[in-house]
Structure 1
Amino acid sequence: MILEENIILQIKSKLNELSKTEKKLGEYILQHSVETVNDNTSELAKKAGVSPATIVRFCRSIGLSGFSQLKIRLYADSSAVDEDLYSDITPNEDVALIADKLALRFNSSISQTAKYLDTGNIEKISEIIDVCTMIYVYGLGASHVVADDFTQKFSRIGKPVVNTLDHHLLSSALISANDHSLFVAISNSGETNEVIKLTEIAKQKHLYTIGISQNASSTLAQLVDFPIIHHGGEAVMLRSAATTSLVSQLFTIDVLYYAYVNRHSQKILQMLKDSKINIQTFFKENS
């Protein structure tokens, strides 16, 4: 069972995608979440300076069925969580509060990623990985950490993976790749220049392409055969949003990995067991 994401963070993450009047309403609700729980539609519309129809559209835009569900979620989240947790990390912050803030964002980002993940695409990608003789993966910055995680996971179960930060070297490899190859492009924004160029090369060579991004309307998501969209949290002043997007990307890789493992569970589990035994044998400390 997937836990619901925190409604306060959910509203914050959607603000920039809303219409002008919906954003106005969202900002009002964020500032008056407790008060909103006790309002009816007409009262909230008057206080926020919007129409009752805007409230209906706002609820649908953030993924809720209606105002009643919004009030229930606001009551549950506003009463259970300290308001200070919704702000970004600030200078001289107490370490315990930093941990609580990040935990709240991690839980929200992962829950929303799981909720909206295109499982149909994940299943199709698992089938493609089955028939691919080579996988190429690329990501810059924090996304390179995700590319390394992908490489480590799939290499351990016998899938050949090429992963390098040298985009010139990787472009040469893609040009000479055979038709049964897969290119995995990772970019939180979906607009990283090197990622887009490498994806275009992979497309020209008729390779299967996957794009892991936070933005469904990004260049990368529109370019690849199979976009995988994750949730990365709202924009904030410091780096907590970048951190939560990284966690969401790693979670997405885990889902893809276990979906593939599930297709060959007995074979792969034996392979992992043998690998562990061999490593312990060859690298055991001398007594």
Structure 2
Amino acid sequence: MTIHFVIQMQAALEAGELSRGERRVVQFVLAAPDEAMRLPLAKLADAVGVSEPTVLRCCRKLGCSSLQEFRIKMAGAEAIGLPATHAAIPVGSSVSEIAARVLDFSVSNLDNLRRQIDGAALQRVVDIVAGARSLHFWGNGASGIVARDAQQKFPLFGIPCVAETDSHQILINAASLSAGDVVVVFSNTGRNSSMRPSVAAARANGAPVILITSSVDTPLAREASEVLSIPTLDNTDIYTPTISRIAALCIVDILSICVAQTRGNTGALKMKKMKEAIVKVFRDDAPAKMPGKCSEKT
């Protein structure tokens, strides 16, 4: 509830739902939450530079019957950290202040994820992935970055995998799948309409589809075989925050470690051989040549 309340304030700022005075109230609260929480109504109005009725009207527009209810919701949001989006960073902030807010926000998001992650759902996903014959990571846009990162990690554990980020290639990939193949879809919003035909095709061919997303109540979530929710505190309808990708990348790390442990020594031995091959070719004192390159000798 508190997470959505902060997002609601940010969305109200962007949508132009507030008067000039009400906007100043919300901007002040987001920029200085500690001060806004402790000031009585009269002093809060003075600090913002508006009238007391303006503060109360702002509270009502945000769904609060009183300033006290507004503060209760804000107190819950403060416990996990306020989103440090553009709306919450005052114009004129120093580089150090901006850096601190962005980093604090990232830490708050990851702590929120740690406390909210569904352990049972995570275990089900690990079991499905560990038993896969091949893995297929799908993602469009920013989610494609996460899919590529997953592709880079999972071959180390002995599971052949590919990553597709183009909608047409994803659909072609889906049409070629069969039982034993596993699809992992990354979609922060869960509302990627171009992904839905591919999800349906993969499932029709017998391949389970795992969705990693911010919400379990979305069109893609309803069509997936298994859903792992990674809630974040920002509003991605307005922004494209890095934190949604950071959270997803952490989930990829968690899955790769869990799958490696589940698969046992087989995965560890393959990873050891791969690492030895990489070191042999790319170490600093190795000959300056790439594998497979023809010799200059005749």
Question: What is the TM-score when the length of structure 1 is the normalising length?
Answer: 0.71
- Secondary structure of the residue that 1:121 maps to in structure 2? helix
How far the C-alpha of 1:236 sits from its partner, in A, is 7.8
Deviation per CA, 1:53-84: give whole Å up to 9, x if none.
Answer: x95xx99xxxxxxx6x985985x789xx9x99
**Structure 1's 32 and 134: CA in aligned 2 closer, same or farther, altered over 3 A?**
closer
Equivalent runs, 1:28-107 vs 2, <5 Å: 33-34=34-35, 36=37, 50=64, 55=69, 74=78, 87-88=87-88, 94-107=94-107
Q: Given that residues 37 and 71 in structure 1 are in contact (C-alpha distance below 8 angstroms), is that contact kept between their aligned partners in structure 2?
A: no
Residue 129 of structure 1 pairs with residue 129 of structure 2 = yes
Alignment-derived partner of residue 146 in structure 2: 146
Q: Is the 8 A contact 2:156 2:271 kept in 1?
A: yes
Q: 1:206 deviation in Å?
A: 2.5
Could you tell me whether the CA contact under 8 Å between 2:178 and 2:202 is conserved in 1?
no
Structure 2, unaligned runs of 5 or more: 12-21, 41-55, 289-298
Structure 1 counterpart SS, 2:136:
strand
Q: Secondary structure at the match of 2:241?
A: helix
**Percent identity of equivalent pairs:** 18
CA separation in 1, counterparts of 2:172 and 2:123?
Answer: 29
The one-letter code of the counterpart of 2:249 is L
CA contact (8 A) 1:150 1:253 kept: yes
When normalised by structure 2's length, the TM-score is: 0.68
Q: Distance in 1 between matches of 2:222 and 2:266?
A: 35
SS of the counterpart of 1:199? helix
Rg comparison, structure with higher value:
2
Give the structure 2 partner of residue 250 of structure 1: 249
2:287 aligned residue: 286
Q: Is the 8 A contact 1:188 1:212 kept in 2?
A: yes
Alignment of 1:1-287 (within 5 A): 11-13=5-7, 33-34=34-35, 36=37, 50=64, 55=69, 74=78, 87-88=87-88, 94-235=94-235, 239=239, 241-264=240-263, 266-284=265-283, 285-286=286-287
Partner Cα separation in structure 1 for residue 93 and residue 10 of structure 2: 27
CA contact (8 A) 2:139 2:147 kept: yes
Q: How many angstroms apart in 2 are the aligned matches of 1:38 and 1:265?
A: 58
Residues 1:108 and 1:84: Cα distance change in structure 2 (over 3 Å): closer
Mapped contact 2:85–2:234 kept (Cα < 8 A): no
Shift of 1:93: 5.2
Q: 1:71 to 1:173 in 2, by over 3 A?
A: closer
Native 8 Å contact 1:85 1:100 kept in 2: no
Question: In the alignment, residue 257 of structure 2 is paired with which amino acid?
Answer: Y
User: Alpha carbons of 1:94 and 1:272: their partners in 2 closer, same or farther (altered >3 Å)?
Assistant: farther
Query: Which position in structure 2 is the counterpart of 1:43?
Result: none
Q: 1:11 to 1:34 in 2, by over 3 A?
A: farther
Separation (CA, whole Å) in 1 of partners of 2:242 and 2:156 = 26
- Range 134-143 or range 253-262, more displaced: 253-262
RMSD: 4.2
Post-superposition offset of 1:216: 2.3
C-alpha separation in 1, matches of 2:250 and 2:110: 7
User: Structure 2: which amino acid aligns with 1:143?
Assistant: S
C-alpha separation in 2, matches of 1:94 and 1:193? 40
Aligned length: 255
Q: Which residue of 2 aligns with 1:44?
A: none
| 2: CA distance, partners of 1:35 / 1:92 | 20
Question: C-alpha deviations, 1:234-261, integer Å up to 9, x for none?
Answer: 238985x521111111112122222212
